A and B are shown apart, each in its own frame.
Chain A
Amino acid sequence: GQNIDQPTEMTATEGAIVQINCTYQTSGFNGLFWYQQHAGEAPTFLSYNVLDGLEEKGRFSSFLSRSKGYSYLLLKELQMKDSASYLCAVRDSNYQLIWGAGTKLIIKP
């Protein structure tokens, strides 16, 4: 079966750095997405990785290792508004998106 694993919950301090990991086992691979979802709201797109390496976008960076079936989302200079769930999703060989359950990130002052 296809599977995306992420930690259920993480806590970090305002101003710090946090890394949210995602491992996947899917039938084929056509890219990995990270989405942010605030409580009660819709997911919004953060990043897309299809090649190995690091993609940087402001305070957020996303890393991919296809050989290890592994990605992480790195959030720097954390702000209170970053408190949200972060969902990892992989596009499989049929171009379907396989979603993780998300990591709830709690930011403390």
Chain B
Amino acid sequence: DAMVIQNPRYQVTQFGKPVTLSCSQTLNHNVMYWYQQKSSQAPKLLFHYYDKDFNNEADTPDNFQSRRPNTSFCFLDIRSPGLGDTAMYLCATSRTGGAPDEQYFGPGTRLTVT
């Protein structure tokens, strides 16, 4: 089945220790998104790629970086995690990003910063 895969599902890291979260997709979608979601809150878009074009949200901290080496893979790097970065990180894809296109989500990575 075509899908969005995220690894790891759970990650614990220490304050200030860099961490990388990965996402891969077999849907061959052009657009990939990274969201941060804290408990009982709306998903917050961090950045998205339209193909290789990177789009950073204005309020995404510099601490968060992303790479998309090819169509299938996308990475989220948190250079110096703080306690406030404890959250679920969701990767999503959409075919073109156009109006009717729904987003397909991976299962998420639950990150805990201690």
* A35 vs chain B, min Cβ distance (A): 8
Contact with B along A34-60 (1 / 0, CB 8 A): 000000111111001010000000000
A42 x B97 contact (CB < 8 A): no
Q: List, in ascending order, chain B residues with CB within 8 A of A104's CB.
A: 40
Give the docked Cα–Cα distance between A4 and B44 (Å). Answer: 13
B97, B104, B105 interface centre (most CB from chain A within 10 Å): B105
Cβ-defined contact, A44 with B105, below 8 A:
yes
| A61 CB contacts on chain B under 8 angstroms | none
Q: Is the interface of B mostly helix, strand, loop or mixed?
A: loop
The contact string, 1 if C-beta is below 8 Å from chain B, for chain A 76-98, is 00000000000100010001110
Contact A45 B100 (CB under 8 A): no
B45 interface residue per 8 A CB criterion = yes
Number of residues on chain A facing chain B (CB within 8 A): 23
At the interface, yes or no: A33 with Cβ under 8 Å from chain B? yes
Cα separation A40 to B45 with both chains bound (whole Å): 18
- CB < 8 Å: which of A42, A87, A91 contacts B108? A42
CA distance A100 to B41 in the complex (A): 8
Question: Please, how many angstroms separate the alpha-carbon atoms of A43 and B104 in the complex?
Answer: 8
Give the CA-CA distance A44 to B42 in the complex, in Å. 14
Question: Please, could you name 30 A-B residue pairs with CB atoms under 8 Å apart, sorted by A?
Answer: A31-B99, A33-B102, A40-B110, A41-B108, A42-B90, A42-B105, A42-B106, A42-B108, A43-B43, A43-B90, A43-B103, A43-B105, A45-B102, A45-B104, A48-B100, A48-B102, A50-B99, A50-B100, A87-B42, A95-B97, A95-B98, A96-B45, A97-B45, A97-B103, A99-B42, A101-B40, A101-B42, A102-B40, A102-B42, A104-B40
Known: A42-B107, A104-B40. 6 other contacts (CB 8 A): A40-B108, A50-B99, A87-B42, A95-B97, A100-B42, A101-B41
- Please list the residues of chain B having a beta carbon within 8 angstroms of any beta carbon in chain A: 40-45, 88, 90, 97-100, 102-108, 110
